[in-house]
Every structure is written in structure tokens, then in C-alpha cells.
Amino acid sequence: MTADRLYLYGVVTTAPAELGTGIDGLPLHAVPGPEGIAALVHDHEGEPYQGADADVERWVVEHSAAVERIWQNTGTILPATFNVIVAPTREMTAGRRLQDWLATHASSLRDRLDALSGRVELRVEIGLDHHLTGGRHPEVVAARTELKDRPPGVQRLLRKRLDHLERDITEAVARERFDSYHQVLKGVSDEVDENRRARPDPDTALVLSASLLVRADAVHDVGAALTAIQEAEPAARIRYLGPWPPYSFADILRTAPPDETG
């Protein structure tokens, strides 16, 4: 079978001279567009990548490694997610379709690339420990004091009720903290993209989960802001990941012409 499709890694302002390889060692090449932009791809045949979990994991890692290498070499990339494939039509090759799309969206692509220049993505999740947050509430403290004088069977029943009470209290506190923590993150970021599908650990109430677009030279400001939150709230449970290429801030690529995604 002849390769008639293109697997997309991202869009850059200027393609580096040495692009290297992507998934399965396939050589990357650039599809040029106007205003100096280019899409970085490799030839692809057949269906999107799918198979055993171990194979998919390896392909995802190889995709991510190629995107990160290009990002580090160029300083800016609109990264594509895994398994974005441009297919031909009866009238046009995949390459021609991609060139037409680059031409149609050249101004928006260039503007977005300029906005992402020198920026990184960080992912932050802030939660509150149920037991530490709810356990200090006066109603819970008083109830736990009363437990000591109750029979063992009653204690077990009341502990379950207290656990639910702690969770309800913590969820309410988490909702109250959202605005203040969100403002803190906005103050140290260019953009904040909330992940509303995030799920907290079983003993944690989620305050917020978000991706941050941050200047590479200001990453330490995010760390300092999170440290201040932790010091002010010992019950806070904070996850802080990155820096990565700005996957969450490449929305313009969602208007690309691929026919297949995995």
C-alpha cells in the first residue's frame, strides 16, 4: 500500500533544518504554508494507530518526544495530539488539503504561534483533604468528642455519619476556595484552561484542575504561588506537572482537515 496520508505533529513558524523522526522512526518533513508557517508530518498509510496497550503507549511516547524535540529546537509549536491524520479526497491529495488549510488559516495560526512563543504549559490540581478540612469544623470536633462515651456499635455508626459530614463540609469549602485560587493562578499565567473532567483522589475534594500557559522565565512564579497556598492551607493537596509544549492552548488545530483521529 502506498502512503497517501499525512500524520500531523504540529505547526511551527519556521521548520528546523533537521526534523528527525517520529513514530516508528519515520522521517518527518515539512508541508510549507504562507507567512513562514509549516506543518510537520510524516507519511502514513492505513488506519490510525491502534492495537495492544503497550504498542499504543509506545506510539504516544514517540509522538510526544518528537513534538517536544521540535518545540525545544524552535521555541514555539502548535502541537497536535496523538493520531491526527490528514487523508486525501477524490479531488485533492493529503498534502494539498493541508496546504490549503494552512493558507486559509495562516493569519490565525501565525497569531497563535506568536502568542505561544517562549511559553510552556503547566498543569495544576488543587484539592482539600476531607479529614483535615472537615475534621476541624466545630460540629465535627464536638461530635467526635461525644463519640468517646458511646457504645462501640454506636461509635461505628456515628463514624460513618461523621465521614459523610466531613466530605460535605470539605466540598463546600472547596467551592468557596475556587474563585480565590483561580485568581491566584490567573495572576501568574497568561491563560488558564480549566479541566472540568478531572476527578480527585477518594479522600480529596477538588478545588480546581487547570492547564496554565506561562512564560518559560516565569515558571518559578507559579511554584511560589502554589507554595503560598500550601503554607496558608495545610489541608491543600497540590499536584504540579510540566513544563510541556502547550497542547491545551492549540485550539486552532481543531479546525484542521484530518478525517481520522484515534
Q: What is the DSSP string of 93-147?
A: -HHHHHHHHHHHTHHHHHHHHHHHTTEEEEEEEEEEEHHHHHTTSHHHHHHHHHH
User: Which range, of 21-25, 97-101, 131-135, averages the lowest pLDDT?
Assistant: 131-135
Res 154: pLDDT? 60
Give the C-alpha separation, 230 to 84, whole Å.
39
Please report the pLDDT score of residue 75 as a whole number. 84
| β-strands 78-79, 29-32 pairing | unpaired
Mean pLDDT of the chain: 89
Give the pLDDT confidence score for residue 117 in this predicted structure.
92
Residue 119 pLDDT greater than 80, yes or no: yes
Provide the b/e sequence for 112-132 (b: ≥16 CB within 10 Å).
Answer: bbeebeebbbbbbbbbbbbbb
Return the pLDDT at 63. 97
The pLDDT of residue 143 is: 67
**Residue 4, φ and ψ in degrees, nearest 5:** -120, 5
* % of residues, the chain, pLDDT over 70: 89
Write the Ramachandran bin of 86: left for phi over 0, alpha for psi from -120 to 50, otherwise beta: beta
Retrieve residue 31's grid coordinates.
508541508
| Residue with grid cell 504562507, as numbered in its chain | 34
Summarize pLDDT for 221-235 with one digit per residue, the tens: 999 999 999 999 999
Average pLDDT over residues 24-47: 93
Q: Which residue has the cell 497542547?
A: 247
Do 28 and 66 touch, CB atoms closer than 8 A?
yes
pLDDT value for 17: 82
Q: Cα(117)–Cα(170) distance, rounded to whole angstroms?
A: 39
Q: Which amino acid is at 57?
A: E
Q: Hey, what's the cell of 44?
A: 502514513
Q: What percent of the chain has pLDDT over 90?
A: 68
- Burial label for 19, CB within 10 Å (0-12, 13-18, 19+), is buried
Q: What band does 131 get if pLDDT is binned at 50, 70 and 90? A: confident
Q: Is 40 left (phi over 0), alpha (psi -120 to 50) or beta?
A: beta
Distance from C-alpha of 1 to C-alpha of 8, rounded to nearest angstrom: 20
Residue 91, C-alpha cell as written in the block: 479531488
Q: Is the pLDDT of residue 2 over 70?
A: no
Instruction: Encode pLDDT of 148-206 as tens digits.
Output: 666 666 666 667 777 778 888 999 999 999 999 999 999 999 999 999 888 888 889 99
Band of residue 262 on the pLDDT scale cut at 50, 70, 90: very low
For range 127-132, the mean pLDDT: 92
Q: Is the pLDDT of residue 1 over 50?
A: no
Whole-angstrom distance, CA of residue 36 vs CA of residue 14: 6
Question: What is the Cβ-side half-sphere exposure of residue 156, based on CA atoms within 13 angstroms?
Answer: 2
Residue that the C-alpha cell 518527518 belongs to? 28
pLDDT category, 111, cuts 50, 70, 90? very high
